[in-house]
Structure 1
Amino acid sequence: MTIKNLKFMPKFFDRYINQVDEDVELIQGLLDTKNDYSLIKDDLQIKENYRYEPDKWTPKQILQHVIDNERIQSYRALAISRGDQSIQPGYDEQLYVNNCNDRTLESLLAEFKIVRESSIILFSSINEIQMLKEGVCFKVRITPLALGFQIIGHGTHHLRIIKERYINKPSY
């Protein structure tokens, strides 16, 4: 299924979904982006603890945030696809980052791949009818299909930020 299969574009999530080419199949998009962060590993190692401004996250914190977000969006997709009509709560991304353990870049890259593989397996198990079921995530009506594309686009968004603001910036 592609973005064209979405019956509506969910507010807030649209900024990430729109990062994905509308012709990309969901599972293929998840597969295609599984190694995005590993491909810039050498650059990440040089800048893993760098902040381009004092209140900004480091690349390691960004990667942890991308992992956390993928786990949360996958759970939301699972719940909605299985018919759970509970309102899925929002989450405080800053709280999550503030309560992460200091991790090695290697462990984060390995976890990202494992979490992505889990997402691929999950979304592969959701049929087309379930992909289009509607649920609510913190006041926003959304489908599992949209959540899958949010995962791809969110990772792409943060990868672009790392490339633009960290890798192409001098160290201090």
Structure 2
Amino acid sequence: MKTRPEPDEYLPGIERYVNLVPEGHLVDILQSQHDQTRLLLKDLSEEQANYRYAEGKWTLKTVVGHISDVERLWSYRIFRIARGDARELPGYDRDIFAESAPFEGMSMTEILTDFTAVRQSTLTLIANLPEEAFLRVGAFSGHPLSARAAAFLIAGHETHHMNVIKANYL
């Protein structure tokens, strides 16, 4: 899939993520992101992985775990919408997810293994959807949401957090 979602396919807050996705085929972009993220983070020490750049901020482990958690949620949304289930999809509270997640007790290697598993699942889903499935629209937070927009959000969300990691953690 190469075509970008139109602004009427997603709620306004998603635009900042969609705009971060470069031009190109989305499967290739997601695979390249995965490879770059793993390369950047695979050799970090546990001290680096447990770093917080400010009081009240998440550790690097939690940020990477959050990327995977969000991808799981949005892949599920893609799946539901692409299969024709247009019912309203619920939101979530990222802070509750982060507080309840096991990331602090996991090694960075374990977190990256999970990241890879989640991304492979997403890639398999997206790579095998027919083009018309990407154009199907459901609802999220009172706004239309296409499967295509949800897929772009995954890529843009990772880019956003990798920019934060490069600027504040490494």
Corresponding residue of 1:134: 137
Q: Does 1:58 align with 2:69?
A: no
Corresponding residue of 2:150: 147
Q: 1:31: Cα distance to partner?
A: 1.3
Corresponding residue of 1:117: 120
After TM superposition, the score normalised by the length of structure 1 is 0.90
User: CA–CA distance in 1 between the matches of 2:59 and 2:46?
Assistant: 11
Q: Judge conservation of contact 1:67–1:112 (CA < 8 Å) in 2.
A: yes
Q: 1:36: Cα distance to partner?
A: 2.5
Corresponding residue of 2:17: 16
Percent sequence identity is: 32
Corresponding residue of 1:164: 167
Residue type at the aligned position of 1:137: F
Q: 1:45: Cα distance to partner?
A: 4.3
Corresponding residue of 2:6: 7
Q: Judge conservation of contact 1:37–1:109 (CA < 8 Å) in 2.
A: no
User: What is the DSSP-based 3-state SS (H/G/I as helix, E as strand, rest coil) of the residue aligned with 2:139?
Assistant: strand
User: CA–CA distance in 1 between the matches of 2:147 and 2:156?
Assistant: 14
Residue type at the aligned position of 2:6: K
Q: Give the root-mean-square deviation of aligned CA atoms.
A: 1.4
User: What is the DSSP-based 3-state SS (H/G/I as helix, E as strand, rest coil) of the residue aligned with 2:88?
Assistant: coil
Corresponding residue of 2:50: 49
Q: Judge conservation of contact 1:3–1:149 (CA < 8 Å) in 2.
A: no
Residue type at the aligned position of 1:24: G
CA offsets, 1:24-64, max 9 Å, x none?
Answer: 11111111112222111224644211111111001100011
CA offsets, 1:114-162, max 9 Å, x none?
Answer: 1101100001121111100111122231111111111111011101101
Residue type at the aligned position of 1:90: G
Q: Which has the higher helix share?
A: 2
Q: Does 1:68 align with 2:57?
A: no
Consecutive unaligned residues in structure 2, runs of 5 or more? none
Corresponding residue of 1:106: 109
Q: Judge conservation of contact 2:46–2:107 (CA < 8 Å) in 1.
A: no
CA offsets, 1:61-111, max 9 Å, x none?
Answer: 001100000000000000001111211100100000000112110011011
Residue type at the aligned position of 2:20: Q
